[in-house]
Amino acid sequence: MGTVTLPESGLIYLDTSPIIYAVEKIPPYDQLLQPLWKPRQAAQPYFIGSELLLLETLVKPVQAGDEVLQAAFRHFLYAYEMQLIPISATILETAVQLRATAKLKTPDAIHAATALQAGCDTFITNDPIFRRIPNLSVIILDELLPK
């Protein structure tokens, strides 16, 4: 199995899937993501995400009435290493362009626009659609797994 190799410094955007894998400890991704959670020398926070992550990660635990999982997601999303970026008009304008040119769905366009606006160096996901975005260095988790 490969590993997630990160730059020594810079901002890392976390899409919804790696957060779900980490919080719910879903194999084999939880093991693959372990290098991300090691302390770094760089200034904190260094994980970036859209506030949209609150909606995308919490709906199922709320539907299931799973308060422990809800708390685990909130703990992760509000950790000092993580910064949630508000969905602003500027991000939505960029998302419009990405939706039109790269044919992304609205949530994906918002994630990509947030990463670009925040100046993220790396975008971690399991969705290859993000490769359509110029100037976005994307790590696809499935590509790191053995064939």
Closest CA to 145 of 1, 32, 29: 1
Q: How many CA atoms lie within 13 A of 33 on its CB side?
A: 24
Angle at CA 125, nearest 5°, toward 122 and 131?
A: 70
Q: Whole-angstrom Cα distance, residue 73 to residue 23?
A: 6
Average pLDDT, stretch 15-40?
Answer: 90
pLDDT digits (tens, 9 = 90+) for 56-90: 999 999 999 999 999 999 999 998 789 999 999 99
In the structure, how many helices (H) and strands (E) does the chain have? Answer: 6, 5
Q: Give residue 43's pLDDT.
A: 54
Using the predicted structure, report yes or no on whether residue 44 has a pLDDT greater than 70: no
Asked if the 12-144 domain carries CATH number 3.40.50.1010, the reply is yes
Q: Give residue 38's pLDDT.
A: 76
Average pLDDT, stretch 91-120?
Answer: 97
Q: Give residue 1's pLDDT.
A: 61
Using the predicted structure, report yes or no on whether residue 34 has a pLDDT greater than 90: no
Average pLDDT, the chain: 91
pTM above 0.85, yes or no: yes
Q: Whole-angstrom Cα distance, residue 12 to residue 146?
A: 24
Banded model confidence at residue 37, pLDDT cuts 50, 70, 90: confident
Using the predicted structure, report yes or no on whether residue 107 has a pLDDT greater than 80: yes
Percentage of the chain lying above the pLDDT 90 cut: 76
Phi–psi pair at 136, nearest 5 degrees: -125, 115
